[in-house]
Amino acid sequence: MTRAQRLDRLPLRDELKGQEPYGAPQLTVKAMLNVNETTYDVPADVVDAITKEVRAAAETLNRYPDREFTALREKLADFLNRDLPTPDLSAENIWAANGSNEVMQHILQAFAGPGRSVLAFPPTYSMYPLYARGTYSEYIAGTRSADFTQTPEDVAAQIRQHQPHVVILCSPNNPTGTALGLEVVEAAYDAATEGETMVVVDEAYGEFRQPGTASALTLLHGRPRLIVTRTMSKAFALAGGRLGYLAAAPEVTDALRLVRLPYHLSAVTQAAARAALDHAETLMANVERIKVQRDRIVTELQRMGLRPYPSDANFVLFGGLDDAHAAWQHLLEEGVLIREVSIPGHLRVTAGTEEETTAFLTALRNWLEETHGRDPR
């Protein structure tokens, strides 16, 4: 009997039967550009600082950690305030958990759940329906325009039509890289207040925004049903540290305290995150390098005759491929791993170091030459 057959014999929840676990391929190649990690190594001084903080935390691991992770919330508020014209966020506005996945889970546990619904707009982050399923919430798949953008009128109309309890706006959106104008968020919020809807703006890639693209953090004041989520996995090169967080009205963080598990953030996680925040300037320097490579990818893909989409993230979605899987396989054979997405003729690539970006562009150009019989330059 196979493991799958043995699994089928367990009294599993009906909605989990036949499902596959979430996960991208984890392969070791020279250029791993498929899950939007920061591919630069963590700088040595940041490693030293994290090691020092974790060493100190280890001395008290016989005790439970600070349940309120107060020092960490203060540092997260200080970091977000740097991006605000009026820096008025405090620890009372901040919540954190083990990755933005757990942050989203807390939000849905508090505001969605049985008999309630969650609205998102595919193509978008593929975990959203899984969050809904895990919290016994109905998932509603909204729609986007053909170029994956969203207008204030259309988003507001869909919220009024479906009347969800939670609506998730991903900006910059994964996998398309498109960012939302604040007028979209404002329209969504206005429509939400006509019912019982919380508005979540997922800004996991917010630090990579193009100049002039504003953050929804600027809209928090006076909007108690607005939540803006962030992560330290991307810009802070802390994907292995698992620290996600949000900013919202203090009453929202009070609501999340009702559903969190006791001492959900370990002392080690808190220590590592605090140390990384103390070195934010060093880590943000790598963000600027990544943005240069992202824009380079867009330019070079256009020269190849492909269709890259404008990106405010650390990745680029591109189309124009006759056989996206064949292109993906060729790149993998050349030591470059990128992401297959559920959009025909499209692939997504993370902007890595200059060397990794060159490896990707060279391998893709070679594939186009082989399959189209021409030099795509």
Look at residue 112 and tell me whether its pLDDT is greater than 90: yes
Look up tokens 């591109």; give the residue: 318
Look at residue 375 and tell me whether its pLDDT is greater than 60: no
Contact of 234 with 351, CB cutoff 8 Å = no
Q: Which residues contact 19 (CB under 8 A, 6 or more apart)?
A: none
Mean pLDDT of all residues in 92-112: 98
> What is the 8-class DSSP label of residue 42?
P
Q: Would you call the peptide bond into 123 cis, given omega within 30 degrees of 0 as the criterion?
A: yes
Helices (H), 193-259: 250-257
State the Cα–Cα distance between residues 234 and 236, nearest whole angstrom.
6
Q: Do domains 3-43+282-372 and 44-279 have the same CATH topology?
A: no
DSSP bridge pairs for 317: 348
Homologous superfamily of 3-43+282-372: Aspartate Aminotransferase, domain 1 (3.90.1150.10)
**Domain residue spans of the chain:** 3-43+282-372, 44-279
Look up tokens 């996995």; give the residue: 233
* Range with the poorest average pLDDT among 102-111, 134-143, 304-313, 367-376: 367-376
DSSP string, 93-134: GEEEESHHHHHHHHHHHHH--TT-EEEE-SSS-TTHHHHHHH
- The string of pLDDT tens digits covering residues 191-227 is 999 999 999 999 999 999 999 999 999 999 999 999 9
Centroid of chain to Cα 109:
19
The whole-number pLDDT of residue 17 equals 86
> What is the 8-class DSSP label of residue 165?
S
Mean pLDDT of all residues in 330-351: 96
Contact of 377 with 365, CB cutoff 8 Å = yes
Look at residue 24 and tell me whether its pLDDT is greater than 90: no
Mean pLDDT of all residues in 40-47: 95
User: What percentage of the chain has pLDDT greater than the value 70?
Assistant: 99
Mean pLDDT of all residues in 245-249: 98
Contact of 128 with 286, CB cutoff 8 Å = no
Look up tokens 């490896």; give the residue: 359
Tokens of 369: 């030459």
Looking from the CA of 223 toward its CB, the CA atoms found within 13 Å total 25
- Type and span of the H or E element at 160: helix 152-162
User: What percentage of the chain has pLDDT greater than the value 90?
Assistant: 90
Predicted structure pTM score: 0.94
Look at residue 126 and tell me whether its pLDDT is greater than 90: yes
- Grouping H, G, I as helix, E, B as strand and the rest as coil, residue 170 is strand
Kindly report the average pLDDT of the chain as a whole number: 95
- The string of pLDDT tens digits covering residues 131-172 is 999 999 999 999 999 999 999 999 999 999 999 999 999 999
Contact of 132 with 28, CB cutoff 8 Å = no
The whole-number pLDDT of residue 216 equals 97
Look at residue 376 and tell me whether its pLDDT is greater than 60: no
The whole-number pLDDT of residue 372 equals 75
Mean pLDDT of all residues in 61-89: 96
Q: Which CATH number does 44-279 carry?
A: 3.40.640.10
Look at residue 374 and tell me whether its pLDDT is greater than 70: no
Mean pLDDT of all residues in 3-29: 84
State the Cα–Cα distance between residues 369 and 141, nearest whole angstrom.
39
- The string of pLDDT tens digits covering residues 298-320 is 999 999 999 999 999 999 999 99
More confident residue, 5 or 262: 262
